[in-house]
Chain A
């Protein structure tokens, strides 16, 4: 293992579901301390790529490593050094903010003696000290996000993964989240995120544009812009639409989407 192993490296990453190839040979490297975004339309394979890098799903083919740990063979080591915020809140909404953080301390084997202090620090970081004993069910989307981000940082990860972190947030909450992400990056944390908001990708060090399971462009936002014919100073949106096409992306609802829709309707025994 070289001393300057990249924070994240993957080579020929493929993932198939039934017969569908969701990710079709993704290769990229992310340097330590970089703020990296996977940009793409819905269904491009961004989340699946992120799930493979975070050991949530096993790759069908290809290799991937985080801080030099192989996601297949050394999954436990990968899990110990990363923080993750999922697209939908991964909180128990019948537990309080404090209880959710305590569960995190248990999962990451933060010693008992240090748990109370770590939980308090996270609550302060999320500005949720006053709401610590409220069940998460009563929280707004922005509060849940802040809690999740604080939780993902509790065990001092070296690489932070964020899946569409600003979806569903109001402008204030979105701004606050971005300020947090930038300050984390200044502290040297590697941040890997997915987004379909172009203005968010503009603020990243490097961007990989993904479509139909493949990376179709990769570089800094400034490098990507001249790729558009006849518009050397065009916006990243032009690049994006130029590369991915302008037709609307209609997707069939997945079982997961149907489950979430059922949950929103609120039937018996939802959650």
Chain B
């Protein structure tokens, strides 16, 4: 038997591989309606039930109703879930799915990883759009331009979070439920992003000041002051530190700026995080996938 000619070297970027794996993520999403259902049920739970329920007590945050205030947060929550689900699927894919076939093929893993991350991020944008459908009902007016800008931020968030999930998944050897991912990754990133409470802001509204002066003085001891018709509240320092350390906070702040024209962090930092981190994370994810099995 003669030696076959050496295979031509395939460049790391193969557009056909990228688009095929991107398309595969969309097909998988479309055929698993439970994920779409989850996107709707989360939106109803958080935006409608929590938003209206807690909103009745809080009245307003910085002039926005509570449901309005958490709208960007609910979008973020859907993006988080979609990205992590898509990334964690790698654990299955590697043991009993198509990824094993990829591992023995001559296709460049970088392109496979890129398709995976872009596909996961696209699904995240679709899932993140579900809460926007509820915007008119809570009094948030969105123009096509707002939606387009929101999609850009969601895509950035989706790429960052899917890549992060891929790195986690590529190190997981076994998997006994999504609970640990939900409790260990999704919820901390969500709660520590300023999604459901402001870093610093005025809460309250008309009628909120009808409390005894003695109580007002006591509240001042906790750093809560009344301004106009509400109270200025500020998070304790340790919570603020965690919030500043969480990249999702900046993405969310950018999204809030797009949807509500309200932000709490420097816009330069928001943009820097939204542009630089996803690129960096994708490169790390591709490396993690390349190293996943052989060693």
Contacts from A to B (Cβ < 8 Å): 1, 3-7, 31-33, 54-58, 67-69, 74, 76-77, 79-82, 84, 86, 88-95, 99-100, 102-104, 106-109, 112, 135, 151, 158, 255-256, 258-260, 262-263, 267-271
> Could you say which residues of chain B place their CB within 8 Å of the CB of A3?
2
- B80-110, CB under 8 A of A: which get 1 and which 0? 0000010011011101111111111111000
* Closest chain B CB from A136 CB (angstroms): 10
Closest to B84 in A: A269
> Could you say which residues of chain B place their CB within 8 Å of the CB of A86?
100-101
Determine whether B7 belongs to the interface, using a CB cutoff of 8 Å to chain A.
Answer: yes
Contacts from B to A (Cβ < 8 Å): 1-4, 6-7, 9-10, 14, 16-17, 20, 24, 27-28, 31-32, 85, 88-89, 91-93, 95-107, 173-179, 293-295
With beta carbons under 8 angstroms apart, the residue of B27, B174, B295 that contacts A255 is B174
Known: A95-B24, A256-B174, A258-B176. Contact between A107 and B1, CB under 8 A? no
Known: A77-B6, A271-B89. Contact between A56 and B103, CB under 8 A? yes
Question: Quick check: B95 and A94 within 8 Å, CB to CB?
Answer: no
With beta carbons under 8 angstroms apart, the residue of A31, A80, A90 that contacts B97 is A90
With beta carbons under 8 angstroms apart, the residue of A107, A112, A158, A260 that contacts B105 is A107
> Could you say which residues of chain A place their CB within 8 Å of the CB of B175?
259, 262
List 4 additional A-B contacts (Cβ < 8 Å) besides A67-B4, A107-B106, A255-B173. A95-B28, A104-B105, A255-B174, A260-B95
> Could you say which residues of chain A place their CB within 8 Å of the CB of B10?
76, 109
The CA of A94 and the CA of B179, in the complex, are separated in Å by 23
The CA of A76 and the CA of B14, in the complex, are separated in Å by 15
With beta carbons under 8 angstroms apart, the residue of B7, B89, B93, B174 that contacts A80 is B7
Question: Quick check: A90 and B101 within 8 Å, CB to CB?
Answer: yes
Question: Quick check: B105 and A108 within 8 Å, CB to CB?
Answer: yes
> Could you say which residues of chain A place their CB within 8 Å of the CB of B32?
94
The CA of A109 and the CA of B3, in the complex, are separated in Å by 21
Question: Quick check: B24 and A270 within 8 Å, CB to CB?
Answer: no
Question: Quick check: B104 and A95 within 8 Å, CB to CB?
Answer: no
Question: Quick check: A74 and B178 within 8 Å, CB to CB?
Answer: no
With beta carbons under 8 angstroms apart, the residue of A6, A259, A270 that contacts B1 is A6
Question: Quick check: A67 and B3 within 8 Å, CB to CB?
Answer: yes
Closest to B9 in A: A76
Question: Quick check: A92 and B1 within 8 Å, CB to CB?
Answer: no
The CA of A91 and the CA of B174, in the complex, are separated in Å by 19
Question: Quick check: A103 and B20 within 8 Å, CB to CB?
Answer: yes
> Could you say which residues of chain A place their CB within 8 Å of the CB of B27?
94-95, 99
The CA of A158 and the CA of B106, in the complex, are separated in Å by 15
The CA of A102 and the CA of B20, in the complex, are separated in Å by 9
> Could you say which residues of chain A place their CB within 8 Å of the CB of B294?
55-58
* Closest chain A CB from B120 CB (angstroms): 14
* Closest chain B CB from A32 CB (angstroms): 4
Question: Quick check: B176 and A107 within 8 Å, CB to CB?
Answer: no
Closest to A265 in B: B176
The CA of A258 and the CA of B85, in the complex, are separated in Å by 20
> Could you say which residues of chain B place their CB within 8 Å of the CB of A88?
95-96
Known: A258-B176, A268-B178. Contact between A76 and B106, CB under 8 A? yes
With beta carbons under 8 angstroms apart, the residue of B2, B4, B97, B173 that contacts A92 is B97
> Could you say which residues of chain B place their CB within 8 Å of the CB of A77?
4, 6-7
Residue pairs across A and B with Cβ atoms less than 8 A apart, 20 shown, are A7-B1, A56-B293, A68-B4, A76-B7, A79-B106, A88-B96, A90-B101, A94-B28, A94-B32, A103-B98, A106-B16, A108-B107, A109-B14, A109-B107, A255-B174, A256-B95, A256-B173, A268-B177, A271-B96, A271-B97
